[in-house]
């Protein structure tokens, strides 16, 4: 029993330093999301429960607009699938790594975000560290960072007395950062150029109010068709 507890403790101590860089970013974005929900007229319970049960940062920002807009569940479902379609590829990549994780596997699947995937997929885990517990603590810690930031933002958002106009732009800024990171990783920028080209075409064809879903669908289809050429020597080590 003591050896088992010691093994879990070692996994936690090994996982914690890997997540600390995520802590600052998640807390800032989480606080911003909580404040955004507050100034949009929602009680702190909304960001609290949504960050705990949804745990999809970009989708949670989008959900604010969905809750304030007309009831359209099909559009919400399609938008959610499009925004989080990358998780399909994350899941396929983690099939072997999640083997043997036992009861922790459902939570590892639920809690997998971009940052947790990046750490769990690339981390050089020492041989004496339990891999399943390491990945569990990475996922749990990142989840707690986001949850605590969003909850505190929702609670104290009403106490903030500065102009919060334009606060929702943080979501746009987050996507720009993700795009720039992907651009820097690629050698030929094929996937980025496909995304830009398809988005521009859909913007012209469907207009600013209706281009997002067609653009996401077309980008997903294009990347699926051209995934093999993109993968061949495209990403820098």
pLDDT tens figures, 141-154? 999 999 999 999 99
Q: How many residues does the chain have?
A: 237
Q: Are 230 and 191 in contact (CB under 8 A)?
A: yes
Q: Is the pLDDT of residue 99 over 50?
A: yes
pLDDT level of residue 1 (50, 70, 90 thresholds): low
* Mean pLDDT confidence for 25-42: 87
For the chain, give the percent of residues with pLDDT over 70.
Answer: 84
pLDDT at 173: 67
Query: For 49-53, 99-103, 143-147, 158-162, which range has the lowest pLDDT when averaged over its residues?
Result: 158-162
DSSP string for the chain? -HHHHHHHHHHHHHHHHHHHHHHHHHHHHHHHHHHHHHHTT--THHHHHHHHHT--HHHHHHHHHHHHS---HHHHHHHHHHHTTHHHHHHHHTTTTTTT-GGGHHHHHHT--HHHHHHHHH----TTS-HHHHHHHHHHHHHHHHHHHHHHHHHHGGG--S--TTTTHHHHHHHHHHHHHHHHHBSS-HHHHHHHHHHHHHHHHH-TTT-HHHHHHHHHHHHHHTHHHHHTT-B--
Helix (H) or strand (E) holding 132: helix 131-156
Higher pLDDT, 195 or 226: 195
Q: Is the pLDDT of residue 88 over 50?
A: yes
* Mean pLDDT confidence for 187-194: 76
Report in angstroms the alpha-carbon separations of 192 from 80, 179, 203, 219: 21, 7, 16, 10
Q: Is the pLDDT of residue 56 over 70?
A: yes
Domain ranges within the chain, ordered by starting residue: 2-162
Q: Is the pLDDT of residue 67 over 60?
A: yes
The C-alpha atoms of residue 179 and residue 69 are separated, in whole angstroms, by: 27
- Close Cβ partners of 31 (under 8 Å, ≥ 6 residues apart): 149, 150, 152, 153
Please report which residue ranges of 157-189 form alpha helices under DSSP H.
169-185
Q: Is the pLDDT of residue 33 over 50?
A: yes
Provide the Cα torsion 138, 144, 146, 149; round to 10°.
Answer: -140
Instruction: Please provide the average confidence, as pLDDT, over all residues in the chain.
Output: 82
pLDDT level of residue 236 (50, 70, 90 thresholds): very low
pLDDT at 220: 73
Q: Is the pLDDT of residue 237 over 60?
A: no
pLDDT at 48: 93
pLDDT level of residue 72 (50, 70, 90 thresholds): confident
Higher pLDDT, 184 or 22: 22
Q: Is the pLDDT of residue 235 over 50?
A: no
pLDDT level of residue 131 (50, 70, 90 thresholds): very high
Higher pLDDT, 47 or 233: 47
Tokens of 181: 């990171």
């Amino acid at each position: 029993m003591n050896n088992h507890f010691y093994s879990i403790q070692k996994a936690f101590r090994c996982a914690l330093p890997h997540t600390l860089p995520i802590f600052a970013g998640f807390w800032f974005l989480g606080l911003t999301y909580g404040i955004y929900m507050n100034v949009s007229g929602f009680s702190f319970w909304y960001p609290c429960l949504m960050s705990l049960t949804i745990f999809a940062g970009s989708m949670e920002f989008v959900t604010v607009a969905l809750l304030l807009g007309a009831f359209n569940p099909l559009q919400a479902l399609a938008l959610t699938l499009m925004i989080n379609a990358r998780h399909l590829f994350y899941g396929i990549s983690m099939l072997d790594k999640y083997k043997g994780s036992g009861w922790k596997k459902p939570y590892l699947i639920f809690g997998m975000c971009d940052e947790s995937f990046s750490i769990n997929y690339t981390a050089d885990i020492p041989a004496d560290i339990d891999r399943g517990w390491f990945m569990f603590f990475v996922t749990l810690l990142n989840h707690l960072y986001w949850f605590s930031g969003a909850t505190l933002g929702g609670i104290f958002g009403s106490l903030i007395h500065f102009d919060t106009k334009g606060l929702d732009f943080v979501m746009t800024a987050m996507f720009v950062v993700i795009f720039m990171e992907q651009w820097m990783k690629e050698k030929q920028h094929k996937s980025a150029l496909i995304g830009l080209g398809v988005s521009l075409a859909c913007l012209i064809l469907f207009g600013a109010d209706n281009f997002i879903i067609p653009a996401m669908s077309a980008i997903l289809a294009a990347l699926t068709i051209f995934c093999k050429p993109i993968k061949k020597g495209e990403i820098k080590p």
